[in-house]
Each structure stands twice: as structure tokens, then as C-alpha cells.
Chain A
Amino acid sequence: ETGVTQTPRHLVMGMTNKKSLKCEQHLGHNAMYWYKQSAKKPLELMFVYNFKEQTENNSVPSRFSPECPNSSHLFLHLHTLQPEDSALYLCASSQEYSDRTHYEQYFGPGTRLTVT
């Protein structure tokens, strides 16, 4: 496997279900990100982890719970979601998350989530 991988690629869940999205990066990076991509809207940053520590939470509802056990893996735990949470969830990684310079972000293919 190379780059950033995400599983599953597609997920349909009911509003009372609990599911998890998984992201793995094979680039040796130290920062990982979750984005939400909805139709006709800009990509929205949800969470950032830098060296396994959460450094950004962009006012995301608590029904989304991230977990970063190590620099290569990132999870997004989902529970009691709403239909408006249906979207493409993208994971990305970069060398670091720094206030001194810009590091290119590499995106995975995303998980297409449908909440019924």
C-alpha cells in the first residue's frame, strides 16, 4: 500500500448505528487530518493531529469522535449521526502541522457516508 488509504470506501448507516472510519498513511508523516466534503461546499477541516496530539477541533459535534493511536493511523468514530452528516469524509496527512511553514497535504480517496 502506498500513500493514504481509507476504509471503508462506502458506508451506509442508520441514525442509531455506531461505525468507525479508518485512515492509514504510508508516508512517514506526523500530522493527520479529517475533512468533510459536501456537495457544492468547500472542504471543511474537522480535526488535526500532530505527533498524535489533537491540535485542531473545528467545532465538530460530539457525535464525531476522532482517535489517533499512532502517527500512521487515524480513526473517526461515528454515533447517532444525522442525515445532514452524509458526505465524503477525507483523510489527509502531511510531514507536520506547523505555524512556521507549509507542508503539502496528501489526501486519501475518502469514505462516502450515507446516513439514512
Chain B
Amino acid sequence: QQQVKQSPQSLIVQKGGISIINCAYENTAFDYFPWYQQFPGKGPALLIAIRPDVSEKKEGRFTISFNKSAKQFSLHIMDSQPGDSATYFCAASRTGGNTGKLIFGQGTTLQVKP
């Protein structure tokens, strides 16, 4: 119930391509879904986040798509660049009970080839 399942574990994309990372959850009480980006030697940093009242949120080349009925959400990176090579984590939490407690996915290592 508390898990967030992330796939794929690793991803290789050519420069200019679209990177897609998927996450699925079980707990319908989750109402906040952030994505974190982590470069080697650094801590994770918030990239973009969505709440279930919208189906899509876009910030620059990064888009979250949210499917409430399927309990899935995904990160799309358009025009992927070598500088996007990093590990990406999805996460989920819920208001009303330990809101700061984020449940993380296992992470996806993205490599963008020049």
C-alpha cells in the first residue's frame, strides 16, 4: 500500500529524444507527487511536482502526466540533453498524516548520449 514502483531501472536515450519514466502507486490517499533529480555526488533536488487535481504539468522540457484512475504518473523529458543524465526518483505523500513523509520509487538512471 505504501510502495511506489518505478520503471525502468535504467534508460539510454539519444540527444534530442524523449525520455519517459513511469511510476505506479497503490495508496489512493496520496495527493502529492514530486519528481527528484540527482546528479552524482549531489543530493536529490526537486524537479517538478503535481497534485491529482490536474492531469498534466509542464515546466520547460519536463512534463508530468498523471492518470488518477490507473494510479500512475510519469515524467517526460522532451529534447533530452546530455546534461539531463542523472538519476530520477518519483515520490508520493499525502496530506493529513505525516505529510512530510515522502515514499520514493527505486530510481531510474538516465543516460543521454550525444
Contact = CB atoms under 8 A, between A and B. Distances in A.
A107 B43 contact: yes
B89 A102 contact: no
Interface of A is mostly: loop
A56 B101 contact: yes
Contacts of A40: 9, 106-107
A40 B10 CA distance: 11
Counting contact residues on chain B (CB < 8 A from A), the size range is 20 to 34
B32 interface: yes
B102 A45 contact: yes
Contact of B104 (A43, A106, A109, A110): A43
Interface residues of A, number: 30
A109 B42 CA distance: 4
B4 A102 contact: no
Nearest to B45: A107
A112 to B, nearest CB: 9
Interface of B: 4, 9, 32, 34, 41-46, 49, 89, 93, 95-107
7 contacts: A33-B100, A43-B44, A50-B100, A99-B96, A100-B96, A103-B100, A110-B43
